[in-house]
Structures are given as C-alpha cells and as structure tokens.
Amino acid sequence: MPSAVPFSTPALQLKSLCKSFDQPAVDHLSLSVRAGELYALLGPNGAGKTTSLRMVAGLLTPDAGEIHVCNIDARNAPIDAKRVMAWVPDEPLIYDRLSAFEYLEFVAGLWGIDAQRAEARAHELVDLLGLEDKAHLRCQGLSRGMRQKVVLAGALIHEPRLIILDEPLSGLDAASARQVKQVLRDHVARGVTVILTTHILEVAERMADRIGVIADGRLIAQGTLDELRRQASGALPGAGRHGELGHGASLEDVFLKLVAVESQAA
Amino acid sequence: MSQATAYRPATPGPLAETTSTPESEQCPISLQNMTTTDSLISVQTLGWFARHELTLFWRDWLMTMSAGKRGRGRAIAIGLAIFVVLLHALAYAMLAPAFKSGVGADKATFVMISGSLALSFFMMLSQTLESVTRAFYARADLELILSSPASSRHVFALRIAAIVLTSAAMAMLLAAPFIHLAALLDGWRWLSAYPVMIAMSAVATAVSIMVTIGLFRTIGPKRTRLAAQIIAAIVGASFLIGI
C-alpha cells in the first residue's frame, strides 16, 4: 500500500527563502500552505510573488532557504517535487502549430503519463473546460481565453497535487474566468492545493481559503480575510495600531492598509 | 495520443484510493516509488521528444514557405522539385567537364574543396548561432519544459542534435546536387561528403554553444541574442561575399 502523508502536512512550506538579483527580490520569505486549500498570494508589483513561485517551480535557484513541496525537499529532489506540481505562468506558452489535443499530449509526455491515461484525461479536461469544438484546431486561431484554458488543461493533465498559477484570470472574459474558477474550486474540493497570485482582489476575496500578503520580498500578513482584517486593524498582539478597519472591510481596504503600513515601516 | 511510455506516475490521481486512512486525514499524495535521482524522460522517450521537435519544425517551415496560406502544399512541392532539378543541372554543367578531364589530388582540387567546405562551415556557423541562442534562451516553451520532471540535460542534448541536423540539412540542400553528380561521375566515395557535412555542422554547433555561453556570461542574457544575431549576420555576409 502506498504510504500516505497526513492531511495536516503542508502542501508547500517555504523557510527563509532568499533570492537577489541586483537587489533582494525575496527576503527570508517563510510561509506554509496547507494541503487542500486555495491560497492567494497578493502583493504590489515587484513584491516578489512571481520570483518566489518560480523558485518553487524549479525555474530559479534560491540563494538560500528551504522549499518543501508535499514533504519533498524541492531543492534536493527537484524532479520529485516537479512530479507533483504544476506551474502556470502569467503568460503561458502554447504552441501555435499544435492543436489543443496535441499540446495536451506533449505535456502529458513531459510528465511521463502513459498514452491511454493521457488520452482519457485530455478528453475529460477538454469537456470540463468547454473546449470540445476547438480541441482539434491549431492553437494559433484560439482566443486568449481559450488558450488560457488549454494551458490550464495542460497543467491538470498529470493530476498534480499542487497547482501554482500566476495571474490565471488576467485577460479572461467573464464566462471564461468563471469556468476557470469553477475548475480550480472543484480541484480544491478534491484535495488539490491551489496557490495563485492575482491583482483582482475580489477573486482572492471570494475564492481563497487563506491569503498571504507579500511586500518587499517578505510575508507581511497571512490568514483568512477576517484574520487579515484584524491584523490590518492592529488588533492582533504585536501588530501595532494603525487605524481601525470595519468588520466588513473589503480585501482591497485590508490589502492597501497592510501594504501602506509596511511601506511606512520600511 | 500516439506515444506510449512505460512510466506510470508514482502519485495516484485525485480520486485514487491510497490507503485505508480516512480521506479527510490524508494529504492526497503518495510518496511510494518516488526516486530522488533520475527524471522521467529516459533515452527511450527521447524519440518522442524528437518527434515533437520535428513536428514543430516541419509545421513552422511549411507555414513560412506557404506564407500562412493553406492549400499551397502542392505548389511548394513542385517549386522544390524544380529547384532540386535545376541545381542538379547546374552541378552537372559545372562538374562534368572537370571530371571528364580527370580530377586528381592536386592543389587546385584541394583549394576548391577546402574553399567549399569553409563556405559551408560559415553558413552553418551563422545558422547555428541563431538557433543555439533561441534554443537556450529564447524559446518560450523552456518554462514549461523546465518546470516538468523531464530531464533538462536530455532536452537540451536533443535540441542541440536537432540544430546539428537542421544546419547540416540546410547546407546539404545546396551541396547535395554536387555530391550526387560527383558520385555519379566519379564514384560513390564522394557520398562520404554527407557525414563530413554532419561533422562540420556538429563543430559549428559546438562553436556556437561556446560563443553563446561566453556572450551570456560576459554581456548577460538580454543582450546575448542581439549580439549573437549580429555575429551571425556578419558571418552570413562573409559567406555571401565568399561566394
């Protein structure tokens, strides 16, 4: 019997993660994302969200720190970590000269999925994302929304345990965005962990189980929306008092408050 | 889906039964059978990746030749056939008199063959510089591939091999009629020019990789492609002037 990892095991754990280019982009970032939750990582432009996630995806080498993906040390066993996750960048690649099915076949091949299983899964995902009519057409003729859905199907084809999406809803029309959100929710309901970055705060507010706010490469707040409200209001011990936010304050209010406090402190 | 691989993922699907532990208490992941050493893409599946690369190359080429218009396949085939026949005729016109008067291992022959090889090499160098830069730094699919468990070493090795072959193929397109006619008029040993061209292409690719990595380390990734394109253009221009 395969050994199972307790549900309480974090799907992603970062410890003191650091990365500098000309200046520090990620500065001792530590965070923990529980298995089976939808986690939104928010932050202003240049806060280090994408850099952090690219390190998790194995595309950048950290200067220091630890990355654990479902209990796998991703720095020491990157291949094992990559097997269980999927990375969808903000401007994902799609081969114009391949059809959606051919693209899915290729991605399945990269993850070493056997042909029969990949085909069944591709049909399932194409149906799920409403791509039936377009699945055999070359991707060059697809709209941005369609292409985004094809990429999402590619990310799901190997049934990852952790899906990381960088701005997954940017440029999508309302219908496509709703479909993508539903697919992500369904996967979370089935125990998959989803981490996404977004500038659309309403999306994070409505979808995320927990939210992390990052600024200057550091995690400045984390929790449910209520917890963030309390942190922003300075209600949590040690948080300081920077002005009250009402109980019904939106994530936008909370986010702006947290970032403003952080920039003042810096 | 046509490619079958023997690998079955170590992790079960989201609905797969893993243990008798209640589902709510599990992180739905199995660590059994996970190795920490090797990647999924093995030598066996390199063929699969090569097929993918060839498909992309072929479709790109067709698209370029047809200017994006459908139904031009026949016209392209006919155009290519005429081009090949004309090149063979040209090669015959140039080589027949030479072979008739007898080709020996003399200085003139050596200079002519060496010159042709040098010109071919510069053409290959020009092409491989651009291709290597693109394959290493600019291809948009690198992010997808490098975030997968596929072995990046194998992927790059295959892409380098593809560059060697495509560069050799481009040079052969021009050289093949001359090689064929030489083989027809003076013996099959001239066919050895084919492996020589592949070897030259391999050397040109190796030089291009060294130049590209050197550029990357000295002037950084952003300027590498531009610099490589300029070098390739200069080398290509030298080839044309040489002709």
ipTM of the complex: 0.84
* Co-location of A224 and A260 in the same domain: yes
Whether the CB of A22 is below 8 Å from some CB of chain B: the reply is no
Does pLDDT of B10 surpass 60? no
Q: Does residue B18 sit within a domain?
A: no
**pLDDT score for A30:** 93
Domain check: are A69 and A139 in the same one?
A: no
Residue B175 lies in a domain: yes
CB A68 within 8 A of CB A12: yes
Query: A115, B32: Cβ pair inside 8 Å?
Result: no
Calculate Rg over the CA atoms of chain A.
19
Domain of B126?
45-242
> Which residue reads 């400045």 in tokens?
A220
Q: B145 touching A, CB under 8 A?
A: yes
pLDDT, one tens digit per residue, over B13-67 is 322 223 333 333 333 333 333 333 344 445 446 778 888 888 888 888 888 877 7
Q: In this prediction, what percent of chain A has a pLDDT beyond 70?
A: 91
**Residue B194 pLDDT class (50, 70, 90 cuts):** very high
Q: Do B26 and A7 touch (CB under 8 A)?
A: yes
- pLDDT value, residue B82: 92
For the entire predicted model, the pTM comes to 0.76
User: Residue B98: inside a domain, yes or no?
Assistant: yes
Q: Which of A214-223, A229-238, B53-62 has the lowest mean pLDDT?
A: A229-238
Range of the domain at A225: 1-84+161-172+188-266
Do A168 and A219 fall into the same domain? yes
Q: Is position B125 within any domain?
A: yes
Residue B234: predicted pLDDT:
82
Q: What is the pLDDT of residue B95?
A: 87
Lowest average pLDDT, out of A95-109, B133-147, B153-167, goes to B133-147
Instruction: Give yes or no for a contact between B52 and A112, defined as CB atoms under 8 angstroms apart.
Output: no
**Of A88, A53, A84, whose CA–CA distance to A159 is shortest?**
A84
**If you average pLDDT over every residue of chain A, what do you get?**
86
In this prediction, residue A245 has a pLDDT band, given cuts at 50, 70 and 90, of: low
pLDDT confidence of residue B48: 80
Is residue B224 domain-resident?
yes
Shortest CA distance to B198 belongs to which of B180, B176, B182, B214?
B176
Mark which residues 198-257 of A lie under 8 Å from B by CB: none
Residue of A nearest to B47 (CA): A109
Of the pLDDT bands very low, low, confident and very high (cuts 50, 70, 90), residue A67 is very high
For the residues A165-187, what does the mean pLDDT come to?
87
Number of domains in chain A: 2
Please check whether residues A54 and A167 belong to one and the same domain: yes
**Helix ranges restricted to H, chain B:** 43-65, 73-100, 107-133, 142-146, 152-186, 193-219, 221-242
Mutate to test the interface with B, among A99, A101, A110 (most CBs of B within 10 A): A110
The CATH code of the domain that includes A2 is: 3.40.50.300
pLDDT at A239: 45
CB B149 within 8 A of CB B40: yes
In a domain, residue A178? The reply is no
B118-139 in b/e form (b: 16+ CB < 10 A) is ebbbbbbbbbbbbbbbbbbbee
Mean pLDDT, chain B, as a whole number?
75
Polymer length in residues for chain A: 266
User: Distance, in angstroms, between A200 CA and closest chain B CA?
Assistant: 24
Report the number of distinct structural domains present in chain B.
Answer: 1
The answer to whether residue B220 neighbours chain A at the CB level (below 8 Å) is: no
CA angle centred on A95, ends B163 and A80, rounded to 5°: 80
Q: Do A257 and A165 reside in the same domain of the chain?
A: yes
Residue A181 lies in a domain: no
